[in-house]
Amino acid sequence: MAFLSTRLFPSKLPVMVEGALWMVAGAAMFSLLNLLIRHASSELHPFQVAFFRNFFSLMFMLPWLFKAGVGGLRTRKSWLYATRALTGLAAMLTWFYALSVMPLAEAVSLSFTTPLFATIGAALFLGEVVRLRRWSATVVGFVGVLVIVRPDAEAIKLTAVLVLVSACFSAASALQVKALARTETTTAMVTYMVLFLTPMSLIPALFVWTWPSWDMLGWLVLMGGIATLGHLALTRAFHMADASAMMPFDYTKLPFSALLGYLVFGETMDLWTWVGAGIIAASTIYIAQREASLARRARSAAAASASVRDSAR
């Protein structure tokens, strides 16, 4: 991970542009990862695929973990790391299963609801003040979900429900990361996540275990490598610019997924899925921009208050 401290194209591109390129690269990697999950699920149960994804990601990260050592890994919040891993595992298992049974682009469109659930969770569990504008944007985002799913007199498709459940758990995991980030190092958060997730994901996999073929094992190794590269790209993007500035580029996962789904599986997205995805994306981008604006105001107010106190001494 040493490359995170260097520029991709030193002195040639503005930081914001390079950050956007890293974000798009990460979106492309995760789109390819979703394609490999679908392919692996044709031979193995999705729960097994989830385990191998974690196992081989850990293998790719081991050199960095050994280099990082145990320094900075001391923590008094092991319980929060454990619950974060549990919610992350629940999100992963439901997501992998949904990918095995529904079109890639439709699943990705519905997964964009994660920030909407995070907004609700922040208000309910973290005590954050969510005002009318953000609530309105959240409601609009869920209207986008209805546009995609278009429930009729029968019922909402179970596959769509699986993705929304996955988004709920992803939001819960994100909120726990937000809580951990107040006191924990990035090294600790990354390390504990992979160390917890790998053995945890083995437990459900054992109930459906079959040995993969040698060809499939190669695809699983590739999946672990791509997952690691995707996370590295996103980490680099967020290192170079604010999350609110980078977030719009994350939605390039949709055209990437639509293209891959069409080329490999012959899947097509209808107009209403594009419309619904656009509504969800617009609402979540607005929420991110609004949160960033409020954070800047809070920092400015704190700085002004500190300046007044210093001048009064």
Tens-digit pLDDT profile for residues 44-53: 999 999 999 9
* Average pLDDT in the chain: 83
Give whole-number Cα distances, 270 to 105, 147, 164, 274, 277, in Å.
10, 11, 20, 7, 11
Integer Cα distance of 39 and 172 in angstroms: 28
Instruction: Tell me what pLDDT residue 166 has.
Output: 94
- Long-range CB pairs of 12-18 (<8 Å, 24+ gap) are 15/240, 15/241, 16/240, 16/241, 16/245, 18/240
Over residues 17-41, the mean pLDDT reads: 91
Residue 153's pLDDT band, with cuts at 50, 70 and 90, is very low
The pLDDT of residue 304 is 54
Prediction pTM value: 0.85
| pLDDT for res 237 | 80
Q: Which is higher by pLDDT, 71 or 120?
A: 120
pLDDT at 56 over 50: yes
Region of residue 266 (phi > 0: left; psi between -120 and 50: alpha; otherwise: beta): left
**Burial grade of 142 (CB within 10 A; 0-12, 13-18, 19 or more):** middle
pLDDT recorded at residue 149 = 79
Q: What pLDDT shows up at residue 4? A: 47
Point out the least confidently predicted range of 71-85, 104-118, 189-203: 71-85
pLDDT at 89 (0 to 100): 95
- Tokens 């019922």: give the residue: 155
Residue 116 contacts residue 164 (beta carbons within 8 Å): no
* Residue 112 clears pLDDT 80, i.e. is over it: yes
Q: What is the pLDDT of residue 310?
A: 53
Left (φ > 0), alpha (ψ -120 to 50) or beta: where does 100 sit?
alpha
pLDDT at 219 exceeding the cut of 90: yes
C-alpha span between 259 and 27 (Å, rounded):
13
Determine the average pLDDT of the residues in 267-293.
85
